[in-house]
Amino acid sequence: MFPSDASQLQAEVMLGNRMNQQQAQAWLDRWCPSWRTEEPNEPVGITFTDGNDEDEE
């Protein structure tokens, strides 16, 4: 698995299960240990938006 694939897998688990990055990595380690191809990334913040740009008029 390429690193970009691992990142995509983490993102899908995070969104599908409403988890943060650390929780998603722990979940994948438990249920699919072969997913990890490199050292874990540092947790990053996620900003959720409704898709509307407040600067647009």
> Can you give the pLDDT at residue 23?
92
The string of pLDDT tens digits covering residues 15-39 is 888 999 899 989 988 888 877 766 6
DSSP character at residue 40: P
> Can you give the pLDDT at residue 3?
55
In a domain, 13, yes or no: yes
Tokens of 4: 């970009």
DSSP character at residue 25: H
User: For the chain, how many structural domains are there in total?
Assistant: 1
> Can you give the pLDDT at residue 40?
61
Range of the domain at 11: 3-35
pLDDT beyond 70 at 42: no
pTM of the model: 0.55
In a domain, 52, yes or no: no
Determine the length of the chain: 57
In a domain, 10, yes or no: yes
